[in-house]
Amino acid sequence: SNIPSYTEFELWANTALHNHNEEAELCIRIVDENESAALNYKYRHKNKPTNVLSFPCDLPPDIPINYIGDIIICAPIVNKEDLTWAHITIHGILHLLGYDHIQEQDAVIMENLERTMLQTLEKQDNE
């Protein structure tokens, strides 16, 4: 399958974290549909695979690293969808930073951030 390079993920992560002041660490894991479905069922009680799952990490303040959590991306689902890998990666990282789309006004804020970040990436591509 066409999984992006480490460099691409790093660019997208840096874009998503741009307004997040500190250096942050996170893990991006790529899985198949079976593993995505199992994790989605275990943590969200939904018995199907999904494009991205975010697991925020809240470390005690005395731990010196800023580990914000893990995102799990299901490659086959992303490759079937209209959304880009960049969009899914940014979406997952925004969840780690506390954004969600449960309430409509929160969804609008999150979608606007995603749109702005994707436009920034497009501009960089065209330079």
* Positive or negative: CA dihedral 124, 6, 10, 104: positive
Rounded to 5 degrees, what are φ and ψ at 32? -90, 180
Q: Which helix or strand (DSSP H or E) is residue 53 part of?
A: strand 52-56
Tens of pLDDT along the chain (127 residues) come to 589 999 999 999 999 998 776 688 999 999 999 999 999 999 999 999 999 999 999 888 888 788 899 999 999 999 998 789 999 999 999 999 988 887 888 889 999 999 999 998 888 777 6
Residue keyed to tokens 């079937």: 80
Can you identify the CATH homologous superfamily of domain 6-121?
Answer: Metalloproteases ("zincins"), catalytic domain (3.40.390.30)
Task: With H, G, I as helix, E, B as strand and everything else as coil, classify residue 78.
Answer: helix
Name the burial class of residue 46, with classes exposed (0-12), middle (13-18) and buried (19+) by CB atoms within 10 angstroms of its CB. exposed
pTM for this structure? 0.88
In the chain, what are the domain boundaries?
6-121
Name the burial class of residue 12, with classes exposed (0-12), middle (13-18) and buried (19+) by CB atoms within 10 angstroms of its CB. buried
Can you tell me the distance from the alpha carbon of 100 to that of 92, in angstroms, rounded to the nearest whole number? 10
Please give the pLDDT value at position 122.
87
Can you tell me the distance from the alpha carbon of 75 to that of 78, in angstroms, rounded to the nearest whole number? 5
